[in-house]
């Protein structure tokens, strides 16, 4: 029996992992377009893990150390060779394999953010002006994963 | 053209969303066992969204407001009635619908955390003592989503 009165003290929701087919396309998208920083990478034989986050400031050793001590980390798993194989990852939003839905990026100004994504020619699932919900948008990453864009001041 | 020299300034990786079949089982798991707080919920007709995070301190209005202004939020989507329907969500780790892999919770002491999860009779994908990697574990949420348990001091 645990004697700790609060056994979940210090727990953090550290990261979310999904698989990517072409790591070069994904790193370009998440760093150059979205503005995340690569905190660290880890090669495990036939796969490589990439750890990304916003505000990945500090020295290289500080960024590396932060990958398990902060929240908001995205871990991308690249299985070597998938970019030249018949591999398509499921984004989780199509029957019969629904489950995972999306990650969400909050932004200070959603109109400015969406204008910027237009300039960057990102693929859209839903522009701000599509559909009934005019305060959220969805862009697609290179594998087709949905990324919701929400203003950080939004109230629902 | 954007005139902002850093168009991604202020972006945050706010949340990860997946679908759950039985919201009561999921809320019990994520709050009572994992120790997350329910920041807010939103009912949208035939679905309800639940926003959860660790350290959801403060008043009710502060917690609600924080759901789009912080990182480390888990959004669970419950489509009404799924608990009594023939619905099984995909956890993303089985062919042919691989894609999403897991979320990860970092903990101060992984042995103590895993002892606690044993006491709570959680379902395991990989105990600490299974397989070759003795410094990570995977538990399963009520829908079978993988949750990696990692010590926040781990170095790879």
In a domain, B65, yes or no: yes
B5 pLDDT band (50/70/90 cuts)?
Answer: confident
List, for residues A7-46, the tens digit of each pLDDT value. Answer: 999 999 999 999 999 999 999 999 999 999 999 999 999 9
Q: Residue A3: pLDDT above 70?
A: no
Q: Are residues B28 and B75 in the same domain?
A: yes
Asked if B151 is an active-site residue, the reply is no
**The model's pTM:** 0.95
Cα separation of B115 and B105, whole Å?
15
Q: Are residues A146 and A116 in the same domain?
A: yes
List, for residues B29-54, the tens digit of each pLDDT value. Answer: 999 999 999 999 999 999 999 999 99
> For chain A, what is the domain count?
2
Q: Are residues B40 and B80 in the same domain?
A: yes
- Contacting A residues, span 94-123, partner chain B, CB-CB under 8 Å: 96-108, 112-113, 115-116, 119
Q: Residue B3: pLDDT above 70?
A: no
- Domain span at B123: 102-156
Instruction: Give the least confident one: A17-21, A110-114, A132-136, B93-97.
Output: B93-97
CB contact under 8 A, A101 and B11: no
Q: Are residues A155 and A110 in the same domain?
A: yes
In a domain, A124, yes or no: yes
CB contact under 8 A, A90 and B98: yes
Q: Residue B2: pLDDT above 80?
A: no
Q: Are residues A79 and A113 in the same domain?
A: no
Q: Are residues B78 and B126 in the same domain?
A: no
Cα separation of A21 and B5, whole Å?
31
**Block residue for tokens 């299974």:** B130
The pLDDT value given to residue A7: 96
CB contact under 8 A, B105 and A53: no
Q: Residue A80: pLDDT above 60?
A: yes
List, for residues A100-115, the tens digit of each pLDDT value. Answer: 999 999 999 999 999 9
Q: Are residues B82 and B147 in the same domain?
A: no
Asked if residues A65 and A14 have their Cβ atoms less than 8 Å apart, the reply is no
A60 touches chain B (CB under 8 A): no
- Enter the DSSP assignment of A15: E
| Average pLDDT of the segment spanning A88-96 | 93
- Contacting B residues, span 76-95, partner chain A, CB-CB under 8 Å: 77, 89-92
B4 touches chain A (CB under 8 A): yes
B4 pLDDT band (50/70/90 cuts)?
Answer: low
CATH of the domain at B156: 3.10.180.10
Residue A31, CA atoms < 13 Å, CB-side half-sphere:
16
Beta strands, E only, B5-122? 12-20, 37-43, 47-53, 73-79, 100-107
Q: Residue A125: pLDDT above 60?
A: yes
Q: What is the mean pLDDT of chain B?
A: 95
A95 pLDDT band (50/70/90 cuts)?
Answer: confident
Q: Residue B81: pLDDT above 70?
A: yes
CB contact under 8 A, B99 and A92: yes
Which of B100, B102, B152 is nearest residue A12 as measured by Cβ atoms?
Answer: B152
Q: Are residues A84 and A132 in the same domain?
A: no
Contacts of B94 (CB under 8 A, 6+ apart): none
């Amino acid at each position: 029996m645990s004697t700790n009165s609060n056994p979940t003290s210090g727990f953090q929701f550290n990261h979310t992992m999904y698989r990517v087919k072409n790591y070069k396309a994904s790193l370009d998208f998440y760093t150059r377009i979205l503005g995340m920083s690569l905190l660290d990478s880890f090669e495990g034989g036939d796969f490589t893990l990439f750890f990304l986050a916003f505000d990945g400031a500090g020295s290289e050793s500080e960024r590396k150390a932060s990958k398990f001590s902060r929240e908001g980390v995205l871990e991308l798993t690249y299985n070597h060779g998938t970019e030249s194989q018949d591999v398509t990852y499921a984004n989780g939003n199509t029957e019969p394999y629904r489950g995972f839905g999306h990650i969400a990026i909050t932004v200070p100004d959603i109109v400015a953010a969406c204008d910027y994504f237009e300039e960057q020619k990102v693929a859209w699932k839903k522009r701000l002006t599509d559909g009934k919900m005019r305060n959220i948008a969805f862009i697609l990453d290179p594998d087709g994963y949905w990324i919701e864009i929400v203003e950080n001041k939004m109230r629902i």
